[in-house]
A = this chain, B = another copy of it.
Amino acid sequence: MPVATVKYYLREGLLPAGERISTTRSEYGEEHLRRLGLVRALVQVAKMPIATVRAVLAAVDAPGSTLHYRLGAAVSSLPDGVGIEADGIDPAVERTVTELLSRLGWEFGLSAGEGYPPYRMLLRAVATLRDLGYPCDTETLLPYARAATTAAEADLDLIQGAGGSEKRIEAAVLGTLLYEPVLLSLRRIADAEESNRRFGGES
């Protein structure tokens, strides 16, 4: 990786400055190297814009009251759809989503509601599907929610498996983000598999 890029990340505040030894020298340790690896992973694998990476890392570093609260704050910091205006969403879509969440017994998601970025992201995505004529009633969405639940349980197992409170926060945010491509690629492979199973012999 080119030096200029590291300098750029330093400037952008994605990496903490090393310890100054003299005017022309700073010392970087294991921690810095790991952080650099994280940044690279977020930028290249999770394809996040620099500004988002900065926000995410800041949220991970920020102190907070309870672990659960910090987890929520950190995930909320993933803008992943800035400028998604919640306005102009068909009320029918909102009703469908609300029904889905309550059907699953996701009280927390229901109460967090509007303010939670993933919720707005979901509304937007469902509204798009609707506009294009793809089915998106509660019944259709349920299997996806079940799949999401399975993934979430695995996520939380990972988080609980992590060492201290700090490590858990990191695992929560970065783990969630970094396992995302894993889930997506597995889904596509599973699609091919299932398609082969159902249509394999067809002409």
Alpha-carbon distance between A119 and B3 when the two chains are bound, in angstroms: 31
Interfacial residues of chain A within 8-27, with CB under 8 A of chain B in the complex: none
Q: Is the CB of A158 within 8 A of B135?
A: yes
Contact of A191 among B38, B131, B146, B152 (CB under 8 A): B152
The yes or no answer to A79 lying at the interface (CB within 8 A) is: no
Beta-carbon contacts of A121-157 to B below 8 Å, as 1s and 0s?
1101110110111111000110111111111111111
Per DSSP, chain A at the interface is helix
Which listed residue (B66, B156, B181, B195) contacts A198, Cβ 8 A?
A: B156
Q: Which residues of B contact A92 (CB under 8 A)?
A: none
Decide: B202 and A132 in contact? CB cutoff 8 A: no
Note all chain B residues with C-beta closer than 8 A to A140.
Answer: 154, 158
Query: Is A178 interfacial (CB-CB < 8 Å)?
Result: yes
Partner of A75, one of B141, B175, B192: B192
- Tell me which of B45, B122, B135, B154 contacts A189 (CB under 8 A): B122
A161 to B192, CA, bound (A): 17
Q: A186-B148, A190-B106, A190-B152 are in contact. Are A121 and B176 (CB under 8 A)?
A: no
Partner of A68, one of B143, B155, B172, B196: B196
Chain B neighbourhood of A172, CB < 8 A:
191, 195
A188-B156 contact given A128-B41, A178-B125, A196-B108, CB 8 Å threshold: no
Which residues from chain A sit less than 8 Å from chain B, CB to CB?
A: 34, 37-38, 41, 45, 65-68, 71-72, 75, 78, 101, 106, 108-109, 112, 116, 118-119, 121-122, 124-126, 128-129, 131-136, 140-141, 143-161, 171-172, 174-176, 178-200, 202-203
15 A-B pairs within 8 Å (CB atoms) are namely A68-B196, A124-B181, A128-B178, A129-B182, A135-B158, A135-B161, A143-B150, A145-B186, A146-B150, A148-B189, A149-B190, A151-B190, A152-B187, A183-B183, A183-B187
